[in-house]
Structure 1
Amino acid sequence: MTVEFAGEYFPIQPGGRFVVGREGDLSIDDNLFLHRHFLEIAESGGLWWLANIGARLQATVTDATGGVQAWLAPGARLPLVFATTSVVFSAGPTTYEFTIHSSEPTFRETRREREVEGDSTIGEVPLTLSQKQLLLALAEPLLRRDGTGMSAIPSSADAAARLGWTVTRFNRKLDNVCDKFDRIGVPGMRGGAGGSATNRRARLVEHVIASRLVAKADLTLLDVGETDPADAE
């Protein structure tokens, strides 16, 4: 088992214990919003586990393909069964990501069968070009620079300007995208009082990056013109 962070690799010996936090085997940052001991990787019962040993923060855990995503709350733990597991979390205004590599994964991916005609599976979120461009405009600072905090997420006005849209059009499409994710159970997509617009954008960006719905390679789409009349609404 090996942990990768910021280009450095930290091997974990069989039967060992590896702690991530403000202090520990991987001292990520001196950020006071981060627990001294936040996450623990340890072997138990023939499996490697990732445990949240903090008191407040949660982590988003995904496999390399984005096909599996889980939220690791304080006190919870997950088995590390994938060849590559990504862990994303925020502490105050800063978001961090590290990767766990397993040389002996216990999970084997099942090949997807060829699509046949019929009803779409509930839970899938089809996105138009303009909806993906909206997500990329919001996530662009984080995708371009690793370790960038959520405070770098642009305002609706700045993201609209990046796309050459009016703020009204941007906000309408943002509502539509959030409604799509809310219907499949993604938390934090509904607005409310008390600065919720910023929180909603941050939660949306965290979700689409963790689930690999957008990636750095997709940023070229920001400069693609509209090809579908429906996108011009």
Structure 2
Amino acid sequence: MRAMTAIAAAQGPRDAADEPVQVEYCGESFGVAPDDRFTIGRDADLSIDDNPFLHRRLLEVSRFEGLWLLSNVGSRLAVTVSDGGGRLQSWLAPGARLPLVFGRTTVVFTAGPTTYELSIHVAEPLFTETSSSPADGVTTVGEVTLIHSQRLMILALAEPMLQREGSGMGEIPTSAQAAARLGWGITRFNRKLDNVCDKLDRIGVRGLRGGLRAHATNRRIRLVEYAIAARIVTRDDLPLLDEGGDP
């Protein structure tokens, strides 16, 4: 993982507590005033990395007719957006925008080999989140149930992202690296990956299948983005990697 410090524009970070919207990244909060157009990217109000695969300006947070919006102002990269609990999710394509109606919105995107996560907090959200307890032994996503070994496979891919403190970035391992982390053979790992991608594709998760032109790297990236945003795996699950899995 490359060393990186999140910085704001030349004037430095705002006092986020005084603003109606806060963007949180790597333990720092940046306030967004109602008349601001707060940009996020490689060379923006929030400059998150010097990664050449990252747009100079990828995202913009602004207010329009009383509603806070998140806009994808890039030209190539799609962004995964979910509510704080991971129950609702959207794939924000270049040129698209989405209202920020929850108290906390999670944003995940990938540029080159690196995946990033940040969160946006709205002081007066239009909707209030409710919590629910998952069933024991399985993880249910929409109409899909994932068994323990399938979650382990996802966890091995998402481990670098989950290991960081708070929002930040991590690099996704190759299938061979993730298989070795689990003590599995590559054939078994790829079979689990195929099964999970097929299941999620059937319920409408985009980017996990694409025919002959699809690259294995791209679907691993998309799976990690979705799993983190939807809270299929969390930092609390990391000890499972050292406990082994079912056959």
Letter in 1 for 2:197: C
What is the CA distance between 1:213 and its match in structure 2? 0.6
What TM-score, normalized to structure 2?
A: 0.80
Counterpart check, 1:73 vs 2:105:
no
CA contact (8 A) 1:15 1:44 kept: no
- For structure 1, which segment, 130-139 or 88-97, has the greater mean C-alpha deviation from structure 2 after superposition? 88-97
The answer to whether the 8 Å contact 2:182/2:244 transfers is no
Work out whether residues 85 and 131 of structure 2, in 8 Å CA contact, stay in contact via their aligned partners in 1.
no
* C-alpha distance in structure 2 between counterparts of 1:106 and 1:16, whole Å: 20
Query: Which of the pair has more CA radius of gyration?
Result: 1
Which of 44, 57, 61 aligns to 2:81? It is: 61
Whole-Å Cα distance in 2 between the matches of residues 96 and 75 of structure 1?
Answer: 20
Identify the match of residue 142 of structure 2 among 113, 123, 145. Answer: 123
**Whole-Å separation in 2 of the counterparts to 1:166 and 1:205:** 20
**Matching residue within 84, 96, 107 for 2:127:** 107
Gaps of 5+ in 2: 1-20
What is the aligned partner in structure 2 of residue 183 from structure 1? 202
Cα separation, partners in 2 of 1:77 and 1:111, compared to 1, 3 Å: same
1:39 aligns with 2:64: no
Separation of aligned partners in 1, 2:197 and 2:208 = 5
1:17 Cα deviation (Å)?
2.0
Equivalent residue pairs, number: 219
CA contact (8 A) 1:39 1:51 kept: yes
Take 2:212 and 2:160, find their aligned partners in 1: how far apart are those partners? 26
CA distance in 2, matches of 1:103, 1:78: 17
Name the CA distance, whole Å, in 2 between partners of 1:191 and 1:79.
29
Unaligned stretches of 5+ residues in structure 1: 116-120
CA drift at 1:53: 1.6
Shift of 1:133: 0.8
1:93 maps to 2:110: no
**Percent identity, aligned pairs only?**
61
- 1:43–1:111: structure 2 CA closer, same or farther, 3 Å change rule? same
Matches within 5 A, 1:146-225: 146-149=168-171, 153-190=172-209, 192-193=211-212, 196-225=215-244
- For each residue in 1:20-76, what CA deviation from the matched residue of structure 2 results, as whole angstroms up to 9, or x when unmatched? 122222122232322222211111111111111222222111111001111111111
- Alpha-carbon distance in structure 2 between the residues aligned to 1:4 and 1:162: 31
- Give the TM-score of the pair, scaled to structure 1: 0.84
Q: Given that residues 42 and 55 in structure 2 are in contact (C-alpha distance below 8 angstroms), is that contact kept between their aligned partners in structure 1?
A: yes
